[in-house]
């Protein structure tokens, strides 16, 4: 059976997602499935019929279900699952969908986790497919299209969550529904586990992982291919300083006072814009401040070819804005941090020495141009997981203080104690740079890296699927800087949805995913489900009997 399935899959065209619709997919699920039955496809194995059904008919269902899920504005940072009416509404929708397709459904906690179940058994589940139903914010002015009104344009599905992580949810659910349509049955229970706080507080899913029976195999679909068997540890670090009162008299040569600063939208996104508001000090005028900022931008331009900055008058204040490229902070080196540019221009201005100016000096000296923490004295790297990644992402003024949120992704190679000690040393350096004005804030968080067994059956099975489907015989398991729910389950790995060398848009404005990616991801996930949970188990290898002497 396995040989025939491999042959069938190799014949499937990789661009089928863009081909004309297959007439066998017309009608209701029962009618469609009948066209892929053992009667309609005589001589084909169950695995081959399932692969053909997925290949021909899955994409439309996946797109429609993704669109339905995206319409629920499940932004966990705006309201936790327990208090988010959109999350509750999505739960009701999924429960209705589950019952319509013959799956069990339950809610764990106060909408913390939605669980769909297929198959029977009371012991440990056989397979768990793990996703998250919450999404990061979608700032309207950064989007070309309405983020929660998903549309297909030029072969791509657009909307907040289509890649992270509602498109993958739809792929998993459709793959199971179509297996059930064909009358296939799993050897044990298969779970779809949807946590609803991945982009904010992991507490609900962590409680689920700690208290519920753990599946034999766990696949998270929340990062990339081929198989992501390792994850960097997530680090949240905050620096802060009191803004301070304006002095009675301005120091000679000072042109302006920084009165407000803003950069970034949330901790896990590199700032796409950064803004500094300036007021003239005594003896200066707004016109003089405007001229000084224009001169600073012009002076910084030759050293910073990609600098995009503008400045304008806004009443008595002058507003400087820099523009970068917002990306997920786990791939910060693929974007452009607007805060770096803001600090560089500010460093050329004669500013009053308050907390905002001190924080911008710290950014300029210890962060600008450095993705790996060399300037902070934090840098180190691992052969599999790569170097430490450091991204200053959120800068705000509130209640008389300015704070800088820093997101880091740390590889193995330093234990938590050693890394915390290096953060202590970095905080001391920063304080010295700022004359004691800038100090570390509260709530430091240092997560540990996660590494799965790359020689185990789960990784080997998924790698085999990927190598054939992508015609990539030299592919090897990889590591991600992001943190997914996979790290909550022993031996769990990530399998998709982003392909190598393709842009990841999960946390970026105008999030989108190619229909071809959705189609191929669904095919590969379906094959994984069949191999790990539906196909008869391969007989265990027998130990040869030694010959009789």
The domain that contains 397 carries what CATH number? 3.30.70.360
Per-residue pLDDT of the chain (549 residues; tens, 9 = 90+): 333 333 343 333 334 444 568 999 999 999 999 999 999 999 999 999 999 999 999 999 999 999 999 999 999 999 999 999 999 999 999 999 999 999 999 999 999 999 999 998 777 899 999 999 999 999 888 899 999 999 999 999 999 999 999 999 999 999 999 999 999 999 999 999 999 999 998 999 999 999 999 999 999 999 999 999 999 999 999 999 999 998 888 888 899 999 999 999 989 999 999 999 999 999 999 999 999 999 999 999 999 989 999 999 999 999 999 999 999 899 999 999 999 999 999 999 999 999 999 999 999 999 999 999 999 999 999 988 999 999 999 999 999 999 999 999 999 999 999 999 999 999 999 999 999 999 999 999 999 999 988 889 999 999 999 999 999 999 999 998 878 999 999 889 999 999 998 888 988 899 999 999 999 999 999 999 999 999 987 544 444 444 443
Strands 190-195 and 127-132: parallel
Classify residue 60: in a domain, yes or no: yes
Domain end: 393, 413, 446, which one? 446
Q: Count CB neighbours of 293 within 10 A.
A: 25
Task: Provide the residue range defining the domain that includes 85.
Answer: 2-232+449-534
Transcribe 463-511 into DSSP letters.
HHHHHHHTT-TT---EEESS--GGGGSTT-EE--EEPTTS---TTSTT-
Same domain (yes/no): 282, 368: yes
pLDDT value at position 20?
Answer: 67
Total count of domains within the chain: 2
Nearest to 443 by CA among 423, 473, 471: 423
Classify residue 429: in a domain, yes or no: yes
Classify residue 545: in a domain, yes or no: no
Cα dihedral 525, 528, 533, 537, rounded to 10, equals 170
Classify residue 547: in a domain, yes or no: no
CB 536 within 8 A of CB 185: no
DSSP helix, strand, coil percent of the chain (3-state; round to 5): 35, 25, 40
| Cα three-residue angle 412-387-396, rounded to 5 degrees | 100
Structure tokens at 211: 């208290």
Cα–Cα distances (Å) from 42 to 36, 56, 102, 155, 547, in that order, read 9, 17, 27, 34, 45
Same domain (yes/no): 86, 35: yes
Three-class secondary structure of residue 84 per DSSP? coil
Same domain (yes/no): 31, 151: yes
Classify residue 501: in a domain, yes or no: yes
Classify residue 181: in a domain, yes or no: yes
pLDDT value at position 503?
Answer: 83
Beta bridge partners of 153: 156
Domain end: 446, 470, 485, which one? 446
Classify residue 92: in a domain, yes or no: yes
pLDDT value at position 16?
Answer: 40
Residue for token pair 């008299």: 249
Same domain (yes/no): 305, 407: yes
């Amino acid at each position: 059976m396995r040989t025939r399935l491999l042959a069938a899959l190799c014949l499937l065209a990789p661009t089928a997602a863009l081909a004309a619709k297959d007439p066998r997919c017309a009608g209701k699920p029962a009618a469609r499935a009948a066209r892929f039955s053992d009667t309609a496809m005589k001589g084909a194995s169950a695995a081959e019929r399932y692969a053909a059904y997925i290949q021909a008919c899955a994409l439309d269902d996946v797109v429609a279900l993704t669109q339905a899920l995206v319409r629920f504005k499940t932004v966990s940072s705006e309201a936790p699952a327990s208090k988010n009416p959109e999350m509750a509404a999505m739960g009701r929708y999924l429960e209705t969908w589950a019952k319509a397709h013959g799956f069990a459904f339950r809610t764990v906690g106060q909408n913390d986790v939605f669980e769909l179940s297929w198959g029977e058994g009371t012991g440990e589940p056989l397979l768990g497919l793990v996703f998250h139903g919450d999404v990061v914010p979608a700032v309207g002015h950064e989007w070309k299209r309405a983020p929660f009104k998903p549309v297909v344009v030029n072969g791509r599905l657009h909307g907040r969550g289509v890649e992270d992580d509602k498109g993958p949810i739809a792929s998993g659910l459709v793959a199971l529904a179509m297996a059930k349509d064909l009358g296939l049955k799993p050897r044990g229970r298969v779970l779809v586990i949807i946590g609803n706080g991945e982009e904010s507080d992991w507490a609900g899913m962590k409680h689920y992982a700690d208290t519920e029976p753990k599946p034999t195999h766990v696949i998270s679909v929340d990062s990339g291919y081929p198989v992501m068997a390792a994850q960097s540890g997530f680090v949240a670090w905050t620096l802060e300083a009191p803004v301070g009162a304006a002095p009675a008299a301005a120091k000679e040569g000072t042109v302006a006072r920084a009165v407000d600063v803003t950069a970034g939208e949330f901790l896990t996104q590199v700032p796409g814009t950064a803004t500094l508001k300036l007021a003239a000090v005594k003896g200066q005028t707004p016109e003089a401040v405007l001229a000084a900022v224009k001169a600073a931008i012009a002076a910084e331009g030759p050293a910073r070819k990609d600098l995009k900055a503008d400045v304008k008058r806004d009443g008595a204040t002058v507003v400087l804005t820099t523009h970068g490229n917002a990306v997920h902070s786990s791939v910060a080196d693929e974007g452009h941090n607007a805060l770096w540019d803001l600090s560089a221009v500010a460093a050329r201005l004669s500013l009053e020495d308050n907390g905002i100016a001190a924080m911008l000096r710290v950014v300029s000296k210890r962060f600008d141009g450095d993705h790996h923490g060399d300037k902070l004295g934090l840098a180190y790297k691992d052969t599999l997981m790569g170097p430490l990644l450091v991204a200053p992402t959120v800068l705000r003024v509130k209640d008389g203080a300015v704070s800088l949120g820093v997101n880091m992704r740390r590889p193995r190679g330093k234990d938590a104690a050693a890394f915390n000690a290096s953060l202590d040393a970095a905080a001391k350096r920063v304080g010295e740079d700022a004359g004691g004005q800038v100090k570390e804030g509260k709530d430091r968080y240092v997560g540990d890296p996660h590494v799965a067994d790359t020689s185990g059956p789960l990784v080997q099975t998924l790698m085999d699927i990927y190598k054939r489907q992508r015609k990539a015989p030299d592919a090897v398991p990889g590591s991600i800087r992001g943190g997914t729910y996979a790290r909550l389950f022993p031996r769990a790995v990530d399998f998709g949805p982003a392909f190598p060398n393709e842009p990841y848009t999960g946390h970026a404005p105008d999030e989108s995913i190619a229909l071809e990616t959705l189609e191929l991801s669904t095919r590969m996930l379906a094959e994984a489900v069949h191999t790990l949970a539906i196909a008869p188990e391969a007989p265990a290898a027998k130990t040869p009997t030694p010959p009789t002497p």
